[in-house]
Structure 1
Amino acid sequence: MKLFTYQPPQIPWLDIRYQDRDIVVLNKPSGLLSNPGRAENTYDCAINRLLNYAPDAILVHRLDCATSGIMVFALNKKAESNIKTQFQNRLTEKYYVAEVIGQVSQDEGVIELGMMADKANPPLQRLDESGKAAKTYYQVLERRVNTTLVKLKPITGRTHQLRLHMKALGHTIIGDDFYGNDTVIAASPRLNLHAQSLSFTHPYSNKPLTFTSQHPF
């Protein structure tokens, strides 16, 4: 694992894809934290950037720092409660696109492997049958020369779930400097994992909404 140095991208500073009186949807770049950590140098993050533009913005879910893609933020407490409940009750639908090392042989499948925190190596996680249940569907989108593009649909939302499940399949996400070997890390300057689509119900109109952002790899 490489030593982590936080250097968030400055361009785009704030990629807003949608806004109304209740919600804001962002396309978060890889390398930007969703919310600040304990260290002072982590103040620059998605929620703090958004607060400069929309002072009432509230974080309702997170993406890993290295993961890019669609995030939704609430603009009032009622919207926050509504959207958080949708996430908790698995009423939202989301899928990711990842580029993984090697050729995935099966066109699609499901991975069900329990997970828990690796207390000896924070913030890493590890697979463990006694851990929390974790389930991921995958589908091959494109087989490339040395990599495969896959669509990933997590049914549960465990920390680093997609990273560990693809590694367990034998196809680590390229650029993964937490769980990848030197070949995996050298294959991309970033983690090639992107939250491409998020669907949920609008907290006030109750209309179904879907937001997408094309993966950059």
Structure 2
Amino acid sequence: MNLTEIHNVPATIPTPLRIQEYGVGIFIGAQTKSALKKKLKKGLVSVNDETATTATMISGGECIRLSAPTEVGPEKKLVFPLKVLFEDDHLAVVHKPAGILVSGNRFKTIANALPQNLRPSPLPDGTRPQPVHRLDYPTTGTLLIGKTSSSIRALNGLFADKRISKEYFAVAIGNMDKEGIIVADVDGKRSESRYEVHHSVASERFSRLNLVAVRPATGRRHQIRRHLSGIGNPILGDKTYGTEGLILNGKGLYLHAHSLTFVHPFTHQEMVVTSELPIRFEKLF
């Protein structure tokens, strides 16, 4: 059978957009730009009952339909309580625990848990809530969520323009300078992280442990983990980039996404949303 999702575009939108730009986050069956593009190429998207292409423009008042084959069966809901740090009709920030993927093909993901933890948006372009960035599987902390299609686009734009500041806390091993800037390529791309040591304690096993605030200027995969390891101060519990003989097993990765700072794209208020340090961090210092 075919599952049809329908979205009515508000009568006026700020700027006409190609459907593959406007449609990001609108449909459960095509939540990303690449997924929507595939549906368009297969002829599964229509605008005002005419088959849409990647060149179709959306200017306001259109009816967009997504048709996709689906199997008959009950919809499974993931029951996984999340701590909500902030929420309004446009967006939310949740605390991501360690040991769960943000999104992907697995059933147990933050993305699948969001509908049971957030209020549905009453706005005309309200959609299934969607994370707009990622945190590693073992990393804890602040995760930004879009609740409307326009919010998802706006937040993606803020990230692309580097107008969202992120601060992490990590526990780094070994002697290190009080502060510094790390500039090193990650996967062939220039990457930069600034760090500042807040506390240090002597350790019989690790020589020294440091509570370090890190502010990445770029957002490469595993950037903070690779940068700190690259200067000889790997993160405690990092089995991938840690030093042999200094791997802490069973306690997880000591990396926490502490805060997000940005201007709300719709209320224009400056937002600073924080997630408290996990107790295991505090116990070390």
Shared fold, TM over 0.5:
yes
Structure 1 residue 179, shift from structure 2 partner? 1.2
Cα deviation, 1:66-103, whole Å, max 9, x if unaligned, reads 11000110100111111110011000111100001112
Give the equivalent residue in structure 2 for 1:121. none
**Alignment equivalent of 1:79, drawn from 151, 155, 171:** 151
Structure 1 residue 11, shift from structure 2 partner? 11
Structure 1 residue 17, shift from structure 2 partner? 1.1
CA contact (8 A) 1:67 1:195 kept: yes
Larger Rg: 2
Cα deviation, 1:35-56, whole Å, max 9, x if unaligned, reads 124xxxx320111111233462
Structure 1 residue 187, shift from structure 2 partner? 6.2
CA contact (8 A) 2:199 2:212 kept: yes
Give the equivalent residue in structure 2 for 1:69. 141
Cα deviation, 1:123-164, whole Å, max 9, x if unaligned, reads xxxxxxxx1000000101101112111110100000011011
Structure 1 residue 196, shift from structure 2 partner? 0.3
Amino acid at match of 1:166: L
**Alignment equivalent of 1:48, drawn from 72, 92, 112:** 112
Give the equivalent residue in structure 2 for 1:89. 161
Counterparts of 2:79 and 2:252, CA distance in 1: 15
The answer to whether 1:112 aligns with 2:180 is no
Amino acid at match of 1:141: H
Where structure 2 has 5 or more consecutive residues not aligned to the other structure, the ranges are 1-77, 121-127, 203-207
Give the equivalent residue in structure 1 for 2:170. 98
The answer to whether 1:147 aligns with 2:209 is yes
Taking the TM superposition and a 5 Å limit, the aligned residue runs for 1:2-13 are: 13=81
Give the equivalent residue in structure 2 for 1:35. 103
The 1:143–1:188 alpha-carbon spacing in structure 2 relative to 1, beyond 3 Å, is farther
How many pairs are equivalent?
A: 189
Greater relative contact order (CA < 8 Å, ≥ 6 in sequence): 1
The answer to whether 1:57 aligns with 2:57 is no
Amino acid at match of 2:114: L
> Comparing 195-204 with 51-60, which one deviates more in the overlay?
51-60
The answer to whether 1:194 aligns with 2:256 is yes
Between the two proteins, what is the percent identity of the paired residues?
A: 32
Q: Secondary structure at 1:186's aligned position in 2?
A: coil
Amino acid at match of 1:114: D
Counterparts of 1:215 and 1:11, CA distance in 2: 25
The answer to whether 1:136 aligns with 2:207 is no
Where structure 1 has 5 or more consecutive residues not aligned to the other structure, the ranges are 1-9, 117-130
Q: Secondary structure at 1:71's aligned position in 2?
A: strand
Counterparts of 1:11 and 1:143, CA distance in 2: 39
Give the equivalent residue in structure 2 for 1:120. none
Counterparts of 2:181 and 2:254, CA distance in 1: 20
Give the equivalent residue in structure 2 for 1:18. 86
Give the equivalent residue in structure 1 for 2:47. none
